[in-house]
Structure 1
Amino acid sequence: MDTRNILYFMAVYEHLHFTRAAEELGISQPTLSQQIRALENELGIPLFDRIGKKVIVTEAGKMFKHYGTKMLQAEMDIKTAATELKSGSQGEIRLAALPSDLDFRLVPLFVRFKTKYPDTRLQVISTIFAHEEVLSHKVDLGIGLQGSADDRLTRIPLGSEPYHLFVHADSKLARRKRITLEDLKDHPLVMYPKGYVGRDLVDATCRKLGFELSTAMETASAASLLQLVSAGIGATIQPAGLTRQNGKDYPDIVAIPLSGVEPVRHLELTYYADRFLTGAQRELIRWLTDFFSEMKTDGS
């Protein structure tokens, strides 16, 4: 079975549209259709149903997606292992991380890691969909919130962290030692948009208490949220250690612990359970687990 045809199948599976898939692949639509038909003929079963202009994945297509993904990963593992053995280099690492952790915590660790392993090519992407990026083999490792059980993934707990309220030092709330979520019902808040894991975690906690928080402004950037708090636009509810590494940049922001029922995030490091890990990838896993362990020790 030609690996190229598996890649063609994956593109159609993702877009459910032959023309858009062909454009992504850089080939003509008739060529793509011909290759998919050849793959279906080889398997002896249709992978897609063509109903008018709609493309629908068959049960066989869903099954092929599962095993095709494994075949592509196996080929990548073979090439990676062979390259590492041949060159003796430290290899390549693709890592997905939550935006706030990437912006405020992990960059100093990456600088130290790159200094010690200069031959390692490190690619880090900021995303709230770390698990999905790992499962689609777009990254090797992912740091995200604890997800539901999935036998395809190896999951390493990185610890738990409560959320705090971040307010401007001149706010009347800044004098409080602790505060409840209920106290914030009528206070202007700046938050991530709905659908972001941090926002959804806060909203879910509020729903348990029987109410919803309203926002004065929403933005997808943790740095922007802190700038808005610094400008006095509103307060924000974020992980307790958000500014710990960069507190000097926000001297006018006060972090207040939440009391009562509070949002808590549980972080984990994930990677595909049966994939080959290079020496560099295993080393970064060790660095990351040690890093978050030290943060727990420091009270972050």
Structure 2
Amino acid sequence: MELRQLHYFLTLCEHLHFSRAAEALGISQPTLSQQIKVLEDEIGMPLFDRIGKRTMKTAAGDILEKQGKAIQQAVANVQAELKDLQQEHRGHLRVAVLPSDLDYRLPPILTHFYESFPHVSLAIISSVHIVQRVLANEVDIGVALAGEVCEQLCVEQFYEESYALFVPPTHELASASFVTPTQIATLPMMLYPTGYVGRQLLERWAQAQGIQFTMLLETGTVTSLFELARRGVGVTIQPLRLGTHFQDHLIALPIHPSPTRTLAIYYRKDKYLSQAAQKFIEILLTHFN
């Protein structure tokens, strides 16, 4: 079995349609059919059932697909590791992070990273679907909230933090030592939109406390949330440490009991982690801890 044949086979598994798979591969349909036939003859059993216009994998096809993906990833790992060695701290690194609220923490991390890897092309991708993007190999590392468990991923929890209620100095609660869920329920609340991970965490906390937020406004930009709170439009609940960037204009009130979140690093177990990726993780852990 050649790697080229395996690539053809896995592409056909993805499309389950000879014409579309051949188009994706940039070859003719007869060529693809002939290569699959050679592979089936070598294995000694059919890999696909062709029922009318439908193409379906056989049991043998399922087995080869599972093992073939592992082989393909192993080859990619070897190539990546050799390239990593050859390039001497060059290449590309893709990191997915939570939208908005990590923005203020990234500059010192990136500055430190580029002191060690000045020639690495780094892409920071804001996403609410971080685990899915790591699994799909769209990014090398993901930084997200802990909680999602997947046997294909390594998950390193590295930082836990509490949330606080942010109000302007003129707010009636500004001098309080803390606020309760019951008090929060009556306030005009401004949060991330529904579907954002941080919003889901706060909604679960509110449900556990037996309250509902009185929603005033939703926006995906943390800067807007803090600026609107500063102007007295409403209040917002955000990670306490994040508010240090706005401490001259807002009061951070502890919440009892407080929502908390744990940040985690996600990466694939079966994928080679480049020296640049390892260094990025090391710097991230040092920065937060």
The alpha-carbon deviation at position 224 of structure 1 amounts to 2.1
Report the equivalent of 1:235: 235
* Residues 1:3 and 2:7 are matched in the alignment: yes
2: CA distance between counterparts of 1:218 and 1:48?
Answer: 51
Partner residue of 1:182?
Answer: 182
Task: Confirm whether residue 251 of structure 1 aligns to residue 255 of structure 2.
Answer: no
Letter in 2 for 1:252: H
For residues 20-52 of structure 1, what are the alpha-carbon distances to aligned partners after superposition, in whole Å with 9 as ceiling and x for unaligned?
Answer: x999x6979xx7899699769956345999999
Greater Cα offset, 224-233 or 67-76: 67-76
Does the residue aligned with 1:174 lie in a helix, a strand or coil? coil
Q: Could you say which residue in structure 1 is the equivalent of 2:192? A: 192
Instruction: For structure 2, list consecutive stretches of 5 or more residues without a partner in the other structure.
Output: 41-45
How much has 1:65 moved relative to structure 2?
6.8
SS of the counterpart of 1:120?
strand
CA contact (8 A) 1:190 1:215 kept: yes
Residue 222, structure 1, aligned to residue 226, structure 2: no
Question: What residue is the counterpart of 2:286 in the other structure?
Answer: 290
Aligned equivalents of 1:228, 1:59: Cα separation in 2 = 58
TM-score by length of 2: 0.80
Distance 1:46 1:187, change over 3 A: farther
Bigger Cα displacement from structure 2, 62-71 vs 202-211 = 62-71
Distance in 2 (CA, whole Å) between partners of 1:174 and 1:59 is 66
Aligned equivalents of 1:2, 1:154: Cα separation in 2? 27
C-alpha distance in 2 between matches for 1:170 and 1:56 = 67
Distance 1:26 1:46, change over 3 A: closer
Q: Once the 2 structures are TM-superposed, how far is the Cα of residue 227 of structure 1 from its aligned partner?
A: 2.2
C-alpha distance in 2 between matches for 1:241 and 1:48: 59
Q: Measure, in 2, the Cα distance between the counterparts of 1:221 and 1:32.
A: 48
RMSD: 3.6
Over 4 Å off, 4+ runs: 7-10, 25-28, 31-43, 45-52, 55-69
> Is this contact kept in 2: 1:47–1:60, CA < 8 A?
no
Long gaps (5+) in structure 1: 294-300
Deviation at 1:78, TM superposition (A): 2.4
Change beyond 3 A, Cα 1:87–1:46: same
- 8 A contact 1:202–1:263 mirrored in 2: yes
Given the alignment of the two structures, is residue 275 of structure 1 paired with residue 279 of structure 2, yes or no?
no
